[in-house]
Structure 1
Amino acid sequence: MDFKPLVTLLAIVNPLAIVPFFIHYTEGFSRQQRRSTIVTASFAAFVVIASSALLGTRILEFFSISLASFQVGGGMLLLTSALNMLNAHPAEAKSSSNELQDGVEKAAMGASIAVVPLTIPLLTGPATISTVVIYAERARHFLDLALLVGYGVVIGLATALCFALANPIARVLGKTGINVMTRLMGLILAALAVEVMADGLHKLFPILGR
């Protein structure tokens, strides 16, 4: 059983790093509202990962994009996310604070903040989707795809656990502890990103393997 996809996804999603955002966006919520937000965000994260695993390769085929090209592009995106994390920013948090605030305002007009911006783009964004599609393309059997979808369940549960324990986690780790955890996951993600890019470049340019 290959746990590398799970480790990669945990490094990218990194729900611990999103805990401060969760606390900020749910400030003033009742217990029931916060519980509903946790359930919605966790389920939405699972849906994004499962959809990418089951439909991602078909989208590549529709646009006539080779896996090797997608690996190089996805690897670059992962590396960018890793660099953000090494600077103690969440992997998927590529928007400015003003843009995130706009997202919250839009969410207030219709969609739940559990989906925007907590799930997309903070928890699951382009880097997460790229990673899942790459691993889905490598799947040889239906069991491999089912396992990838199962990893989505694990990510959803990890997200729910971190958000449910948001206040105790913030008190125990503090801002410094969360920053250290984010940088550590960023270092792991950077190594995985280089590996993905190297595999894609080797397929595009076989001469590099000589």
Structure 2
Amino acid sequence: MTAYVSPSITSAFVTLLATIGPIETAVLFASLTSGVHRPERTTLALRSVLIAGIVLLAFALGGAPVLDYLHVSVPAFQVAGGIMLFLQALTLVFSSPGLSSISEGEKKAARSLGDIAVFPLAFPVIASPGALVAVVLLMGRAKDMVEGGAILAMLVSCLLLTYIAMRAGEILTRWLGQTGADVAGRIMGVLLAGLAVQFVFDGIRGGFITS
């Protein structure tokens, strides 16, 4: 007997994987920590993933109450968030610095700092604006607590994959190179674009129903 996986859970995993970007994060991590000893790199990777996880979890659990407080409907946020995710998808497809990337100036500033776990690794690389929007959208679309718990499990899985990728950052950089990383990013960008448009459609449909 094969286990049934809900399409919404699968789309949640793909959305979070695309917005968090384990491969992109690993390549950047390898670049920023090229002169750091391995034990320190392990600690940096773990701390950055944990901090990003706390931020993403806070948005996942507190996003809906904040929207209610601001009198922003879920359909309205779905449309706005879907547009934002679509813009990130375009940057991934065309291999330009996306919403989760950092500028060259920020990279230089990060290299001069003693601790890069919070900035730029935890935020804005792992807990990127796109990932924060995505987790709020996904939790808002959950039909019940079981589905909400499954989405949180997908979030933890993506963070775990990010940590593993960061630990293997040097190997991934050698195997993939810049070209391989760009190809992976473009594939995820195409998938994210479709999911982003679906969020917009859901928001428009939900707006007509509630109006």
Residue 13 (structure 1) shift: 1.1
- How far does residue 64 in structure 1 lie from its aligned partner after superposition? 1.0
Hey, what does 1:191 align to over in structure 2? Answer: 194
Corresponding position of 1:138: 141
Give structure 1 regions of 4+ aligned residues with deviation exceeding 4 angstroms: none
- Figure out how many residues of one structure are paired with residues of the other and give that number: 202
Q: 1:90 to 1:122 in 2, by over 3 A?
A: farther
Q: Specify the code of the residue in structure 1 equivalent to 2:122.
A: T
Change (3 A) 1:41 1:52: same
- Is 1:59 the counterpart of 2:66? The answer is yes
Deviations 1:96-151 (A, max 9, x none): 3214434555x54xxx3122111211122221111111111122322222222212
Percent identity between the aligned chains? 30
Aligned to 1:39: 46
Moved more, 44-53 or 96-105: 96-105
Runs of 5+ unmatched residues, structure 2: 1-5
**2:126 equivalent to 1:123:** yes
Letter in 1 for 2:64: T
State the match for 2:3 in structure 1: none
Aligned to 2:23: 16
Residues 86 and 193 in structure 2, CA contact (< 8 A), matched pair in contact too = yes
Pick one of 100, 103, 116 that aligns with 1:96. Answer: 103
Structure 1 pair 123–91 and aligned structure 2 pair: CA distance change class (3 A): farther
Aligned partners of 1:176, 1:81: CA distance in 2, in Å?
19
Where does residue 37 of structure 2 map in the other structure?
A: 30
- Whether the 8 Å contact between 1:37 and 1:113 is mirrored in structure 2 is yes
Q: 1:156 aligns with which of 156, 159, 167?
A: 159
C-alpha contact 2:102 2:120 (8 A) present in aligned 1: no
CA distance in 1, matches of 2:182, 2:19: 14
With over 3 angstroms needed to count, the CA separation of the structure-2 counterparts of 1:114 and 1:90, relative to structure 1, is farther
Q: Amino acid of the residue matched to residue 203 of structure 1?
A: G
Q: 1:79, 1:12 → 2: CA distance?
A: 11
Amino acid at match of 1:64: H
Picking from 48, 51, 70, the partner of 2:55 is: 48
Tell me the amino acid that sits aligned with residue 125 of structure 2: L
**TM-score of the superposition, structure 2-length normalised?**
0.88
1:175 to 134, 155, 178: 178
Find the aligned partners of 2:57 and 2:100 in 1 and give their Cα distance: 21
1:52, CA displacement in angstroms?
1.7
1:91 and 1:122 in contact (8 A); partners too: no
Give the AA of the match of 1:173: L
- Mapped to 1, the partners of 2:106 and 2:170 lie a distance apart of 25
Query: Which deviates further from its counterpart, 128-137 or 84-93?
Result: 84-93
Q: Distance in 2 between matches of 1:104 and 1:62?
A: 39
Deviation digits for residues 61-95 of structure 1, max 9, x if unmatched?
11111111111110111011111111224643354
Change (3 A) 1:181 1:130: same
